[in-house]
Structure 1
Amino acid sequence: MACNSVPIDTSHLPYCFTRFPVRIHKDKEEIHRFTLELIDATKKEDSKAHKHSLYKYAFGPDMNIYSLSWCEAELDKMKLLIDFIELTWAHDDVAEEEPLENAVAESERLCRAMYEEYDDEPVADNGFGLRIRRFRDIRDRMKAIDAVGWLEIRDATEEWLHIDTKLKDFESLEEYLNIRKVHVGNKITTSFIRWTMGIRLSEAELAFIEPYTDCIGVWLGLMNDYMSWKRERTQPTDRVVNSIHLVMNRYNLPEEAAVDMIRGVLVRQEGKVLEMSEDLNGRTGLSTGMRIYIQNLEYYAGGLFYWHFLAPRYTKPQSFDPERAD
């Protein structure tokens, strides 16, 4: 399989930086150009959504989350991935500001857009209706390339779209993280590794690797919670999905102590992922596809950490004032 990525030198970063390898797609400029053009084409200029989307990519091609997370993806498939994920992120951003009942209903309608049998349902002439129509179009284009891989993405996305129904006042961090690994979208994003690289794993292989991808999902949820806390702590929503918020409330901890606690849990979870990765890489009898997938799960984790660590979205959290872009 051709190599589509190059390594990133992280030696200048603080010693606490992740131990995962970090690489970036060799076509990072084209990927970044496509991302910005898609945002401009699908979001009203100078709107809150438009400003926030552009802010995620303010550091240019070297900090494009797609080039970092799916660094070995085939370029044409990468563009469909970007279209799909930008749409689901847009849905998630809107849903976070909706009452839970409305968010669940809209997620159910978006979910149905992944099934042709619902294509006769009327679509409103508004922003949500536009997302429905786009989702149907993306579905058809993805299926035309790889129908089997699309089913894995569809099933993972359906679980994610319904995850808000499982949010509650969790009794423990462990209970929360069991939901958070799905809520953070890990199953969707890892299925895209396989889809964009044409990796086909059997049902037995997918079951075999699931504990490892779940371990990464828990780590990703913790990492996102920790990195985004300064941004999310003032976000207007009736449901804060963040482990720092949980331990503050559950254990009556001051904010600083809760942040330190989650940082420690995050470091230990990264250690678990790395131990599992070492064990898997040392095994014999794994298929070529499985070995490539394991390697790219490491690149995916490293790329996401690198992006969260340096992105202005988290290093300089933007305001939720719709009149401001920073």
Structure 2
Amino acid sequence: MAPFPVYPVDTGSVSSYFSSFPVRSCEFSALPTIQKALDETIYSCTTPGSRERKKAVYRHSNPAGNIFGLSLALCEADRISYVVKLIEFLCIVDDAMEDLPFEEACIEHSILRQALHESYDDDRYGGQAVDLMKNFLRELRKELVSLGDLSTSLLLKTLDTSLRDRDSDDSEFTTLAEYIPYRKTNFDYDFVCQLLCWAMNIPLAVQNDPLARAYEHIIGVIVGLSNDYFSWEMERQQTTDRVRNAVPVLMKEHSVSEVQAKLMLKEVIVEEERKARKLKSDITSQSVKDEDLARYVSGMELFAAGYSFWCATCPRYHRPQKEENPVELNAEFSIAVEV
């Protein structure tokens, strides 16, 4: 099935968006599909009035655009709902785990992973924090398996690995080079790449191409560090035993102030985008053009652009949510309003 129609997004009036990547959105046509998938995920994985539900609703209150409309421009229309459900699920898992002590978070991730294995289908123990999420993931796994697609089975295996590894390191990183591999893992990046490839109906073998791997790595650095750049003001106020952000890493590595570290981080992102543009140009100008590879690279660029634009504009990062002023979903699930 073809992707939803896309349109260019005017980013010129958003001073905080410094990316050189063009932004495209499929929101005008895809929003009903996106909203339905979000509705099912948020209501299934959270309880009314809970911190996780408040944060999920606030995440989608960006008047500049829906995060999935902005980042899934080349995904096929009949697969977008699965992408939305899986990524929103992982966001809710993040919200549930971030305040748990490290060892407890590792245990909860292990319990959650049982939902991906048929042998645990009769095990209804939901741990301390993941009961609803485990039930949701179990049912979603069954639905995906019923598609009868070999690539879907591989996708679920990658998700299992991602849940195992995503919050399994409590190290204090002293250099950006040490931190970047962790940042990609904590972003579920290998899974996200495979999910986008699957959603664009591109053979997963394309990811084995060395050029695809190199491009994936650069985009992973861009999206992970862009998130860090824009989310730092929110994260610096959180009470947790493991702050995971490039800003304090750069402060420690170079003995600089917070302001200087953010400027350095921005420079790193801009340089990685330069590398991405160069590599994309090399890929698309090959004498024997690989259409699947070129489409995958274009989809990854649009994913990075849309995600970075969302990070640059979302209330979640620029007006941190007040817990005492929750926003609840209404009957029509109108979450795309300013709060």
Q: Calculate the TM-score normalised by the size of structure 2.
A: 0.86
| One of 282, 295, 303 as aligned partner of 1:300 | 303
Distance 1:3 1:204, change over 3 A: closer
Shift of 1:120: 3.2
Match of 1:199 in 2: 202
Q: Which of 1 and 2 has higher RCO (CA within 8 Å, sep 6+)?
A: 2
In 1, distance between residues paired with 2:75 and 2:206? Answer: 22
Instruction: Write the letter of the residue equivalent to 1:128.
Output: V
Q: Matched residue of 2:311: which SS? A: helix
In 1, distance between residues paired with 2:9 and 2:288? Answer: 31
Shift of 1:226: 0.4
Per-residue displacement from partner, 1:65-109 (whole Å, max 9, x unpaired)? Answer: 111111222333211222222222111211111111111111122
In 2, distance between residues paired with 1:19 and 1:269? Answer: 11
Distance 1:275 1:303, change over 3 A: same
Match of 2:98 in 1: 96
| One of 233, 238, 246 as aligned partner of 2:236 | 233
Per-residue displacement from partner, 1:277-319 (whole Å, max 9, x unpaired)? Answer: 1211112334322221111111111111111111111121224
Instruction: Write the letter of the residue equivalent to 2:7.
Output: V
Instruction: Write the letter of the residue equivalent to 1:191.
Output: Q
Match of 2:59 in 1: 56
Match of 1:143 in 2: 145
| Bigger proportion of residues as helix | 1
**Any conservation in 1 of the 2:17–2:309 contact (CA below 8 Å)?**
no
In 2, distance between residues paired with 1:125 and 1:178? Answer: 29
Q: CA RMSD in A?
A: 2.4
- Say yes or no: does 1:34 pair with 2:36: yes
Q: Matched residue of 1:138: which SS? A: helix
In 2, distance between residues paired with 1:182 and 1:206? Answer: 20
Match of 1:13 in 2: 14
| One of 99, 122, 125 as aligned partner of 1:120 | 122
Match of 1:242 in 2: 245
Instruction: Write the letter of the residue equivalent to 2:290.
Output: S
| One of 153, 156, 162 as aligned partner of 1:154 | 156
Shift of 1:30: 0.7
Q: How does 1:271-282 map to 2 (within 5 A)?
A: 271-282=274-285
Instruction: Please say which of residues 32-41 and 183-192 is displaced more in the overlay.
Output: 32-41
| One of 257, 260, 271 as aligned partner of 1:257 | 260
Per-residue displacement from partner, 1:202-225 (whole Å, max 9, x unpaired)? Answer: 267455411210111111111111
Distance 1:226 1:144, change over 3 A: same
How many residue pairs end up in the alignment? 323
In 2, distance between residues paired with 1:307 and 1:186? Answer: 18
Shift of 1:17: 2.6
Q: Matched residue of 2:78: which SS? A: helix
Instruction: Please say which of residues 234-243 and 205-214 is displaced more in the overlay.
Output: 205-214
Q: How does 1:72-83 map to 2 (within 5 A)?
A: 72-83=74-85
Q: Matched residue of 1:247: which SS? A: helix
Match of 1:132 in 2: 134
Instruction: Write the letter of the residue equivalent to 2:20.
Output: R
User: Structure 1 vs Structure 2: percent identity of aligned residues?
Assistant: 28
Unaligned runs of at least 5 residues, structure 1: none
Instruction: Please say which of residues 239-248 and 160-169 is displaced more in the overlay.
Output: 160-169
Per-residue displacement from partner, 1:252-294 (whole Å, max 9, x unpaired)? Answer: 3221122122122121122122222121111233432222111
In 2, distance between residues paired with 1:266 and 1:50? Answer: 31
